[in-house]
Amino acid sequence: MDCAIVDMVIVKYIKLRGLGKRQRIPNLRRTKMEENKIYNKDCLEFMKTLSDNHFDLIITDPPYGIGVAKKGNVGGDNLGKAKDYGECKWDSEIPSEEIFKEMFRVSKNQIIFGGNYFVEYLKNSPCWIVWDKDNTGNFADCELVWTSFNTAVRKFKWRWNGMLQEKMNWKEKRFHPTQKPVPLMRWIIENYSAKEDKIFDPFAGSGSTLVACKQEGRNFVGCEINKEYCDIINKRLSQETLFD
Ligand SMILES: C[S@@+](CC[C@H](N)C(=O)[O-])C[C@H]1O[C@@H](n2cnc3c(N)ncnc32)[C@H](O)[C@@H]1O
């Protein structure tokens, strides 16, 4: 609900009940939204407090439900030993239909990684983004990113192959088993948003979307349910240098 509407409801309630100044005002849910910040919250609960179209754009990478890193090891291949991120359970299932409905309600446009895992919740779209990871290991060669835009399919190539990265002399630190490269997120932001847009990532992970927003000068908000990842995000956001 819009803040102005909440205010009107509170005033009406006070008048109707004849409440004095010292009496308790009912606890109507309302998020006092600070921007350029990560919220350590369940994104569904968070979104329920927002008005329609609050954000211009959602860019997000929800759990694909494929049980990545069940035993903690991700990315092992003939190029080296898999990195151990510790066991994680958040990828046991895809987000509920209610979460998708809320994402579409609170934002004007959406860019959703792993769209091929969520087709039951997504409309037909002419505009998918293909991220070519230049992979040779156990994982997919590309990732498919669904968008609500009406433009043509585009491809972005950025090597992200176990220990190998596009720029070996400028490697990004890995904090999360499904971390996305910041240059990929920057390319998306540059091509699919305007300077004044407000961007939301409800499944922030290690915060690559938010770091890219900061670097591209966009206002952003993120939600991440795991406190340890939130600490990493805050650290990444406060750093000048994000590379090894
Ligand atoms: C696929 S990862 C995102 C990785 C991110 N793109 C990155 O670059 O690091 C999905 C994240 O969503 C978080 N998550 C799962 N369910 C959530 C929920 N209901 N609300 C907020 N975060 C959630 C998980 O803890 C996980 O870190």
Domain residue ranges of the chain, discontinuous segments joined by +: 1-30, 33-238
The pTM of this model reads: 0.85
Q: Which residues does a 6 A CB cutoff place in the pocket of ligand 1?
A: 42-44, 61, 63, 90, 176, 178-180, 202-203, 205-206, 208, 223-226, 229
Ligand 1 atom closest to 229 (CA): 27
- Counting from 1 in the atom list of ligand 1, the atom nearest the Cα of 99 is 19
Instruction: Write down the CATH number for the domain with range 33-238.
Output: 3.40.50.150
Q: Three-state SS string across the chain, please?
A: CCHHHHHHHHHHHHHHHCCCCCCCCCCCCCCCCCCCEEECCCHHHHHHCCCCCCEEEEEECCCCCCCCCCCCEECCECCECCEECCCCCCCCCCCCHHHHHHHHHHEEEEEEECHHHCHHHCCCCCCEEEEECCCCCCCCCEEEEEECCCCCCEEEECCEECCEECCHHHCECCCCCCCCCHHHHHHHHHHHCCCCCEEEECCCCCCHHHHHHHHHCCEEEEECCCHHHHHHHHHHHHCCCCEC
pLDDT band at 67 (very low <50, low <70, confident <90, very high): confident
pLDDT band for 15, please (50, 70, 90 cuts).
low
Q: pLDDT exceeding 90 applies to what percent of the chain?
A: 69
Q: How confident is the model at residue 28 (pLDDT cuts 50, 70, 90)?
A: very low
Segment among 18-22, 85-89, 181-185, 229-233 with least mean pLDDT: 18-22
d(CA 229, ligand 1 centre) in Å? 9
Q: How confident is the model at residue 11 (pLDDT cuts 50, 70, 90)?
A: very low
pLDDT in tens, 34-52: 999 999 999 999 999 999 9
Q: What mean pLDDT comes out for the span 185-213?
A: 98
State the pLDDT at residue 19: 46
For the chain, what is the mean pLDDT?
A: 86
112 CA → ligand 1 middle, Å: 12
Q: 70 falls in which pLDDT band (50, 70, 90)?
A: low
